[in-house]
Amino acid sequence: MTDILHKTSPSVVAAADHSEGMSYLESLPRRLITLYLPLSVILLVLLFPFYWMALTSIKPDDQLLDMDKVNPFWTTAPTLKHFYTLLFQTNYPLWLWNTMFVAIGATILSIIASVLAAYAIVRLRFRGANWVGGAIFLAYLVPPSILFIPLSTVVFQYGLFDSPFALILTYPTILIPFSTWLLMGYFKTIPYELEECALIDGASRWQIMTRIVLPLAVPGLISAFIFCFTLCWNEFIYALTFLSTTSHKTVPVAIVNEFVDGDIYRWGSLMAGALAGSLPLVILYAFFVEHYVSAMTGAVKE
Amino acid sequence: MAVTALKSSARPATRDVSAWERLKVNRNWLGLWFMLPAAAFLVLFLAYPLGLGVWLSFTDAKIGRSGIFVGYENYEWLWDDSIFWLSVFNTLLYTLVASTIKFAVGLYLALLLNENLPFKAILRAIVLIPFIVPTVLSAIAFWWIYDSQFSIVSWTLRHLGFISGNIDFLGDPWNARWSVIFANIWRGVPFVAITLLAGLQTVSPSLYEAATIDGASSWQRFRYITYPLLTPIIAVVMTFSVLFTFTDFQLIWVLTRGGPVNATHLMATLSYQRAIIGGQLGEGAAIATAMIPFLLAAILISWFGLQRRKWQQGESND
């Protein structure tokens, strides 16, 4: 240890200390067994279904079902036939559009409502603000699976059944508690002094919120937006219950209900549909990984 | 004289201010305006349906017909319904096994990812992918992996010589239960791992260095440093994990729809089947309402159980 210290300059030691920690105590073979081996096994299990999904979607039909002549883990003749079927012989583009429309509509509505609510709870501190914050957290804990039956009657009463607006108006009940809670955390980090200066200069609360707080909370808004978008895209039970016409359905519901027929060759297009339905989210995720992680952990930490 | 004149001229001015300005400036009124959109959504589509659900469970409502009050009849029916009790058993088994394994594997994965690794950011991003992809779509991939004839798992095990025939993953009651539990674990581990990893990153490395100098083994370092410091975040993560596992619907619906012979029906899927497919809204609402006490118990156990540990270790019980 002292030898190492003598050999290297102080600044390098500091940098090395920071990045390596105590890992010099472990030898490489030991790390292989205790770290890299279990890690790669877990990663393999986590990723295999996606590999299998992608592979199935480009396999020709005869190779899908014949596992003896050809090695099933690879394909020799990749084909885009399943994607072609999906795009031109089904309503898939329409379902994608429905999902996108519902997700964006519900997300925008919820972000507007939660920005206002979070700002009021954190900064206006009206009487009972803490109590309201707690109530919103409790709303987060109410799962959709105990709400869908009464909600279906409510949706019917309001005349929204089988319309995308049934989803656009009900999804915010899942999204608002989450994003309010997340944005409350972000708003708390913005210094009071900025707002006080603006108040002295004669700005109204509304101006303070739109001109000062929101520009500073942009990372939080992006986190809330993409997380809400993902939740909407994911949502299944409301979409399954409130929509009945094939052309109104969202991707998850349509794939489960419309593709599952007696055809033994359906697997290729089913997997192609699942893959194409996941891609938009994965691409969004690839661009905003950090925001995504901070959304997930931020809401839990609060 | 001058004072009264001042008073009389000032009074109407303040009243003008108070009428409109109070709505604009007063905190409580402003708070009300700002809360209004969120409150409207949550009351109309969350609080009202929640109450309505409990009310429906005491009626004999059917699809297209508002019911009349029948008291506890729906619950009495359920009490004698063996399928309902089977679904309660399945839900408890599913929640207990899946949450425990998710916690164990998730914590292990978080500890592995917290080590000094090359490409750490990319690894973390990859781990989270199963959580990003819509559950229904990954469940479809599992459906294909669990296919009775063309399952890749059966194929591999057969070619490795472990089994002679194909495994009927979703056709046999216990196989089906373990299969859906595995798919749920697969989907839930990334959430637990990444949130716990965020907690781990806040633990100061100097604590580990001090403990190592004092001769602590790696197990002792985990048991007496990592675990106590992580307890609050574990409590929150596991509360959410238990909640989402208990009320799971999508995975079961895609993989088995409750079959074979109701062996994998959870309370959520059973209530969907009775209420929406069977049309018995009242009975379905009773099943959904019956989930509430279980949910409260699960939340309280995972919350206070872990909070008490924190208290026992001498921290302030805040």
ipTM above 0.90, yes or no: no
What mean pLDDT is predicted for residues B244-266?
A: 89
For residues B307 and B311, which has the higher predicted lDDT (pLDDT)? B307
Backbone angles phi and psi of B69, in degrees to 5:
-65, 125
Tell me which amino acid residue A55 is. L
What mean pLDDT is predicted for residues B159-184?
A: 88
Could you tell me if residue B242 is inside a domain?
yes
For residue A156, the surrounding DSSP H or E stretch is: helix A148-157
pLDDT of residue B85: 93
Residue B189 and residue A46: Cβ atoms within 8 Å?
yes
Could you tell me if residue B317 is inside a domain?
no
**Do residues B113 and B256 share a domain?**
yes
What mean pLDDT is predicted for residues B265-272?
A: 92
For residues A25 and B216, which has the higher predicted lDDT (pLDDT)? B216
Topology of domain A86-301 in CATH is MetI-like fold (1.10.3720)
User: Nearest-CA distance from B217 to chain A in Å?
Assistant: 12
Rounded CA-CA distance B194/A296 in Å is: 8
A215/B contact by beta carbon, under 8 A: no
**Do residues B47 and B85 share a domain?**
no
pLDDT of residue A96: 92
Instruction: Show the beta-strand stretches assigned E in chain A.
Output: none
Could you tell me if residue B215 is inside a domain?
yes
**Do residues B100 and B167 share a domain?**
yes
What confidence tens digit (pLDDT) does each residue in A42-78 have? 999 999 999 999 998 888 877 777 777 777 787 777 8
Token output for A184: 């409350």
Could you tell me if residue B109 is inside a domain?
yes
Rounded CA-CA distance A291/A297 in Å is: 10
User: Nearest-CA distance from A173 to chain B in Å?
Assistant: 6
What confidence tens digit (pLDDT) does each residue in A225-236 have? 988 999 999 899
Q: Which domain covers residue B231, as residue numbers?
A: 73-312
pLDDT of residue A12: 39
pLDDT of residue A128: 85
User: Nearest-CA distance from A175 to chain B in Å?
Assistant: 10
Looking at the DSSP assignment, which residues form a beta bridge with residue B62? B65
pTM for the whole structure: 0.86
**Do residues B33 and B117 share a domain?**
no
Closest by CA position to B237, among listed B199, B268, B209, B210:
B199
Backbone angles phi and psi of B201, in degrees to 5:
-70, -15
pLDDT of residue B309: 55
Partners of residue A136 in chain B, C-beta under 8 Å: 38, 42
Q: Are B265 and B84 in contact (CB under 8 A)?
A: no
What confidence tens digit (pLDDT) does each residue in A151-179 have? 998 888 888 888 889 999 999 999 999 89
Q: What is the 3-state secondary structure (H, E, C) of chain B?
A: CHHHHHHHHHHHHHHHHHHHHHHHHCHHHHHHHHHHHHHHHHHHHHHHHHHHHHHHCCECCECCECCCECCCHHHHHHHCCHHHHHHHHHHHHHHHHHHHHHHHHHHHHHHHHHCCCCCHHHHHHHHCHHHHCCHHHHHHHHHHHCCCCCCHHHHHHHHHCCCCCCCCCCCCHHHHHHHHHHHHHHHHHHHHHHHHHHHHCCCCHHHHHHHHHCCCCHHHHHHHHHHHHHHHHHHHHHHHHHHHHHCCCHHHHHHCCCCCCCCCCCHHHHHHHHHHHCCCHHHHHHHHHHHHHHHHHHHHHHHHHHHHHHHHCCCCCC
Could you tell me if residue B63 is inside a domain?
no
Which residue of A lies nearest to B232 if distances are taken between CA atoms?
A: A301
**Do residues B24 and B163 share a domain?**
no
Partners of residue A180 in chain B, C-beta under 8 Å: 38
